[in-house]
Amino acid sequence: MSELKYTTQHEWVRVEGDVATIGISKYAAEQMGDVVFVELPEAGRVIAQAGEIAVVESVKAASEVYGPVSGEVIEVNAALEEEPALVNEDATGKGWFVKLKVKDAGELDSLMDDEAYASYVKGLQ
C-alpha cells in the first residue's frame, strides 16, 4: 500500500507533514500517450481543491490537471520543462508536477486510496 490518494480526474497526492506533492496517475499518463509539454503554475499561486493547477500535453491531447487539495504552490518540478517524458516514465515519482503547502488536510478524506482507485479505473475499462 502506498501513501498516495487519488481523484476521479486521475491526479494523485502524497502528503508529508503539511506539504502535498501532486501529479497524474500512471493510468492517466498511459491514456495520454507520450507527454510532450507540461505547463506549471508559478510558486506562490493559491490553488483551490479541484481548481486547475497545470496543463499537460501529449501526442494525443491536452488536458488540465486539477488540485486534489487546496493550498499554495511552494515548488514546481522544473525538470518537466526540459524532460516532460518523466511523466510517462515515472508518473508517481520523478514525474510529479507541484508541491503545495496544504490549506485543509481534511480535504484528503474525499480522495480514494490505492484500492478504491484501482477499482475505479477497472470500472472505466
Reported as a single tens digit per residue, the pLDDT across 71-114 is 999 999 999 999 999 999 999 999 999 999 999 999 999 999 99
* DSSP label of 26: H
Confidence of residue 2 (pLDDT cuts 50, 70, 90): low
Which pLDDT belongs to residue 92?
Answer: 96
Residue 69, pLDDT above cutoff 90: yes
Sorted by where each starts, the structural domains of the chain and their CATH numbers stand as 5-103 (2.40.50.100)
Q: Is the pLDDT of residue 1 over 50?
A: no
What amino acid is encoded at 89 in this protein?
E
Place of cell 508536477: 97
Question: pLDDT tens digits for 16-64?
Answer: 999 999 999 999 999 999 999 999 999 999 999 999 999 999 999 999 9
C-alpha–C-alpha distance, residues 87 and 29, integer Å: 7
- Mean local confidence (pLDDT), 6-22: 97
Three-state SS for 8? coil
Q: Name the band, by pLDDT with cuts 50, 70 and 90, for residue 5.
A: very high
CA 4 to the chain's CA centroid: 10
Give the model's pLDDT for residue 125.
81
* Res 123: pLDDT: 94
